[in-house]
Chains A and B, each alone.
Chain A
Amino acid sequence: MLTTARVLSTRLLQVIIVALVVMIGTSLLVRLVPGDAARTILGDKASPGALDALRQTLGLDRPIAEQIFISIGRLVQGDLGTSFNFRGQTVTSLIVPALLVTACLAALAILLSLLVGIPLGLGLALVRSSGADLLGRLSLTVLVALPSFMAGLILLYLVSIRLRIAPAGGWAGSWPSNFGYIWLPAVALSLYLGPLIARTVRQAALETIQQPFVEAARARGVSRHRVIICHVLPNAALPVIPLVGFNAGVMVSGAVTVEAIFALPGLGAQLVQAMGTRDFPIVQGIALLTAVSVVVFNLLADLLNLSVDPRLRSR
């Protein structure tokens, strides 16, 4: 149990460090803009009065250290500030609905990748014809090489425009009917993680089959199927946990671009809008939320790994 405590403390420390780095970095964001930040935000035609007012709200008239402390103090209380462009709306109230859409998309894609990737990898390791193995391996290689947003473009064309099975983007706004809009983006996103999982499982399964305990089980008269399900599968599926954890950041990056292609109202759309209008608090909030959720996700993956693999605990 010693390692659980160690992993937990290391990861928690990481969460805190990441949050601090992001907070300091994003608090400095407005300061780092070359030239006059207020003028950059309001544009060249702004009146001197409006510029002064904005400088005051942004706290640009105070020393940098004070600004950072103030914004960190607010962030700790969960206050991400207010949007520049939607006056009076807090960043939290704008981001949270978008975050939910992105989280749903990512969760659905991860689920899909696991459901298809693990059996596919195991199947490729066990298939008797080396031709089928080669074909499977090559297709997986091509799919891993395909960036998520390009998979999205190709699926959008084939499935939505040619076959007309799915809408070409959009959002229903209410829950069961949203699935009609989210399943195709989720498939596009899983076309990266799924093949990655299948490749890893195939590799791990081939290594497991060579272990003496598999031969021992067969010698004891355990059936082939039982050996595959009870002995090979659990060992082959183990490396998937850290793999998914490690790819959490990649999934967020992928989800954000795939959303942009399918016009889903997620963080991607929020980012595009905030980038276009130079809405610093929104970008700041999204950066903080995504970074912290990736670290928390990694923490969960580590804990899950420890709880399912007793070999890691005994050391």
Chain B
Amino acid sequence: MTAEVTTKLDDEAVRRPLTPRRVELLVGLTLIAAVVLACLVVPLINKTDPNALVAAPLQPPSGAHPFGTDQVGRDVFIRVFTAGRVDLTLAALGVIVPLFLGTVIGTIVGASRRRAVDVVTMRLTDGIIAFPFVVLVLVVVLIVGADTQIPPLPAGGASILVAVWVVNWTIYARIARARTHVLREEDFVAAGRLLGFSRRRIVMRHLLPSVWPATATYAVSDALLLVALIAGLPFLGAGIQPPTPEWGSIMYEGRAVLTQAWWISLTTAGVVLVLGTGVMLTVDSLIANPRRVRIP
């Protein structure tokens, strides 16, 4: 009985045509999954302490140390994938909170019929979006302190998250507001109003479920922007503080010895690039691509 059901489902899965867009999505998700899995699994299998001095400094990649060793003799392979846990966790936390906050705020503002609410929120988001992100993060880092540690986050993590949360809800709020403006003209919302549902119920049960997909799609590419931001901070004297391994600080330390040892910075960059390509492919597959036509 169970076997029959499974085959039926499998058949249906096979029948869906493998369009280029689906290939794009599958390759994208595979690349993301590969990097995320490696960050989860590599530190579990190889229990070498990422800060342990395991070999001579600046050894090129070899069988024992696939990404070589750094300037004090730590294994770059272990460090890169341990670092991924920090970067990916921070990026996830940095995306989820603003995604939630921004979507709710944007939907409420979009559903509100008071012009003042709309104008004030939009001007506020304009002001925040205008700020170059890196500069704003640095200001917050300066206030909170570059090495302030709030457990369980690594030193420097708290100030990054605060800055990201302050800024990033604005973009989600704008997407949610635009989507709500389209949705509130739809029949199902009018029906809800005619049925005498409260505004609160219409926002929570009718608008929000349809607004989520739009903001969540943006969240995918936003996570990549955050990884780039977090990894760029050590070059500006901020970011996650050593010795906690983090992609940016590994690349920053590798920059100083780039002439003798390319593998420290560039293998790390390669891993981030694999993740980034996966994210971009996934996002592209979710966005419509116009048909290729020729000029007649």
A144 lies within 8 A of B280 (CB): yes
Chain B residues, CB < 8 A from A13: 123
Contact partner of B229 (CB less than 8 A), chosen from A21, A168, A207, A253, is: A253
Determine if B188 is an interface residue (Cβ-Cβ < 8 Å): no
Q: Please indicate the chain A residues that have their CB under 8 angstroms from the CB of B266 in the complex.
A: 153-154, 157
Pick the residue among A32, A146, A224, A256 that contacts B143 (CB under 8 A). Answer: A32
Chain A interface, >50% SS class: helix
Min CB gap B83→A, angstroms: 14
The answer to whether A153 touches B258, judged by C-beta atoms less than 8 angstroms apart, is yes
- Min CB distance A296 to B, Å, is 10
Q: Which of these, A29, A206, A249, A260, contacts B290 with CB under 8 Å?
A: A206
Q: Which residues of B contact A154 (CB under 8 A)?
A: 266, 269
Instruction: Known contacts A228-B295, A249-B132, A290-B135; decide if A141 and B235 are in contact (CB<8 Å).
Output: no
**Whole-angstrom distance from the CB of B250 to the nearest CB of chain A?**
11
A253, B132: Cβ atoms closer than 8 Å: yes
Distance to closest chain B CB from A122 (angstroms): 12
CB distance from B219 to the nearest CB of A (A): 16
Could you tell me the distance between the alpha carbons of A112 and B137 in the complex, rounded to whole angstroms? 28
Chain A, 100-138, CB within 8 A of any chain B CB: 125-126, 128, 130, 133
Q: Shortest distance in angstroms between B29's beta carbon and chain A's nearest beta carbon? A: 14
Evaluate whether A256 and B134 lie within 8 angstroms (CB atoms) in the complex, with A145-B224, A153-B269, A275-B237 already known.
Answer: yes
Contact partner of A25 among B132, B139, B296, CB < 8 A?
B139
Given contacts A150-B269, A153-B269, A206-B291, contact A145 B280 (CB under 8 A): yes
Quick check: which of B7-15, B70-78, B207-215, B271-279 contacts chain A, the rest being far away? Answer: B271-279
CA–CA, A271 and B251, complex, Å: 19
Q: Do the beta carbons of A29 and B139 come within 8 Å of each other? A: yes
B132:A17 contact, CB within 8 angstroms: no
Q: Please name all residues of chain B whose beta carbon is closer than 8 Å to the beta carbon of A161 when the two chains form the complex.
A: 258-259, 262
Q: Contact check: which of B272, B284, B289, B293 meets A210 at CB < 8 Å?
A: B293
Within the complex, the shortest CB–CB distance from B116 to chain A, in Å, comes to 15
Tell me which residues across on chain B come within 8 A of A147, comparing CB atoms. 227-228, 231-232, 272, 276
Residues of chain B within 8 A (CB-CB) of A271 are: 135, 138, 236-237
Within 8 A of B (CB), among A286-305: 286-287, 290-291, 294-295, 298
A33 at the interface (CB under 8 A from B): yes
Bound together, the chains give a CA A230 to CA B294 distance in angstroms of: 16
**A252 is an interface residue with CB less than 8 A from chain B:** yes
> Which residues B242-296 have CB closer than 8 A to chain A?
251, 254-255, 258-259, 262, 265-266, 269, 272-273, 276-277, 279-281, 284, 289-296
Tell me if B25 counts as interface (CB < 8 A to partner A): no
Is the beta-carbon distance between A206 and B292 smaller than 8 angstroms? yes
In Å, the complex CA distance between A153 and B136 comes to 24
Complex: chain A residue closest to B20, CB-CB: A134
Most interface-central of A146, A252, A253 (chain B CB within 10 A): A253
Chain B neighbourhood of A71, CB < 8 A: none
Please tell me if the beta carbons of B284 and A278 are within 8 angstroms of each other in the complex: no
Q: Is the CB of A260 within 8 A of B296?
A: no
Instruction: Confirm or deny: A238 has a beta carbon within 8 angstroms of a beta carbon on chain B.
Output: no
In contact, B277 and A298 (Cβ under 8 angstroms): no
Q: Which residues of A contact B39 (CB under 8 A)?
A: none
The answer to whether A46 has its CB under 8 Å from any CB of chain B is no
Query: Once bound together, how far apart are the Cα atoms of A44 and B27, in whole Å?
Result: 55
Once the chains are docked, how many angstroms separate the CA of A179 from the CA of B133? 28
Does the CB pair B132–A294 fall under 8 Å? yes
Q: Check: A172 CB closer than 8 A to any chain B CB.
A: no
The interface residues of chain B lying within 8 Å CB-to-CB of A253 are 132-135, 229, 232
Does B145 interact with chain A (Cβ within 8 Å)? yes
User: Smallest Cβ distance from B257 to chain A, in angstroms?
Assistant: 11
On whether the beta carbons of B265 and A290 are closer than 8 Å, the reply is no
**CB–CB A209/B134 < 8 A:** no
A131 to B140, CA, bound (A): 47
- Cβ-neighbour of A291 out of B123, B135, B138 (below 8 A): B135
Q: A154-B266, A252-B132, A275-B237 are in contact. Are A145 and B138 (CB under 8 A)?
A: no
Q: Is A275 a contact of B127 with CB atoms below 8 Å? A: no
Task: Provide the bound-state CA to CA distance between A275 and B235, in Å.
Answer: 12
Return the CB mask of A208-226 against B: 1 if under 8 Å, else 0: 0110001100110000100
Question: Does B142 sit within 8 A of A, measured CB to CB?
Answer: yes
Closest to B128 in A: A21
A73 to B101, CA, bound (A): 35
- Shortest CB-to-CB span from A78 to chain B, Å, is 20
Residue of A nearest to B248 (CB): A149
Quick check: A14 and B130 within 8 Å, CB to CB? Answer: yes
A130 touches B292 (CB 8 A): yes
Q: How far is the CA of A224 from the CA of B296 in the complex (A)?
A: 8
Most buried by B among A257, A276, A294: A257
B197 contacts chain A at the CB level, 8 A cutoff: no
A-B CB contact pairs (8 Å), 24 listed: A34-B145, A128-B294, A149-B232, A149-B251, A154-B269, A157-B266, A207-B290, A249-B129, A252-B134, A253-B232, A256-B135, A257-B236, A268-B236, A272-B235, A275-B236, A275-B237, A276-B237, A280-B142, A287-B135, A287-B138, A287-B139, A291-B135, A295-B130, A298-B130
Given contacts A18-B127, A214-B295, A257-B134, 14 further A-B contacts (CB under 8 A): A13-B123, A14-B126, A33-B145, A145-B224, A146-B276, A147-B272, A150-B273, A161-B259, A253-B229, A253-B232, A275-B141, A276-B237, A287-B135, A294-B131
Task: Please name the 7 residue pairs, one residue from A and one from B, whose CB atoms are nearest each other, closest first.
Answer: A145-B276, A147-B228, A253-B134, A252-B132, A260-B235, A206-B290, A145-B280
